[in-house]
Amino acid sequence: MKRTRTNWTKKATILLAAICVALAALTSFTPSGAQEWLLHVNGVPVSRAVYSYFLSEALLDVEGKPDIAALRKEVAARCVEYIAISNELRAMEIPVDQVLKAQVADQTVFYWRVLGQHYGAIGVDKQTLNAMLYGRAERDQLFRAIYDRDGAKPTPEESIEAYFYGNYLAYEGIRVFRTVLPADGSQERDMDTEEAAALRQVLADFVETANDAEDFYGTAQEEAFALALGYGTPSVTMVRKGTVDVSDEDFDQLRRLAPEKIMLLNLPGFFLVARGVNMRLSPEEFYLGRRADCLWKLKGGEYQAALKAICRNYRADENTAEMERFYREWKW
pLDDT tens for each residue of 152-204 = 999 999 999 999 999 999 999 999 999 998 877 788 899 999 999 999 999 99
Question: Percent helix, strand and coil across the chain, each rounded to 5?
Answer: 60, 15, 25
Q: What percent of the chain has pLDDT over 70?
A: 89
CA distance 33 to 52: 12
Would you mind telling me the total number of residues written for the chain in this entry?
Answer: 332
Regarding pTM above 0.85, the answer is no
Q: Which H or E run contains 255?
A: none
Contact partners, residue 315, CB within 8 Å, separation at least 6: 41, 42
Please say if the pLDDT value at position 17 is more than 70. Answer: no
Q: Is residue 200 a contact partner of residue 264, using CB atoms and an 8 Å limit?
A: yes
pLDDT tens profile 63-99: 888 999 999 999 999 999 999 999 999 999 999 999 9
CA distance 298 to 155: 9
Distances (CA, A) of 120 to 114, 116, 195: 12, 6, 55
**How confident is the model at residue 165, as a pLDDT?**
97
Question: Could you count the other beta carbons within 10 Å of the beta carbon of residue 84?
Answer: 21
Q: Is residue 205 a contact partner of residue 228, using CB atoms and an 8 Å limit?
A: no
CA distance 33 to 24: 16
CA distance 73 to 327: 13
Q: Is residue 303 a contact partner of residue 147, using CB atoms and an 8 Å limit?
A: yes
Residue 317's Cβ-side half-sphere holds a number of Cα atoms within 13 Å equal to 5
CA distance 271 to 197: 11
Give which of 195, 168, 189, 166 is closest to 271, Cα–Cα: 195
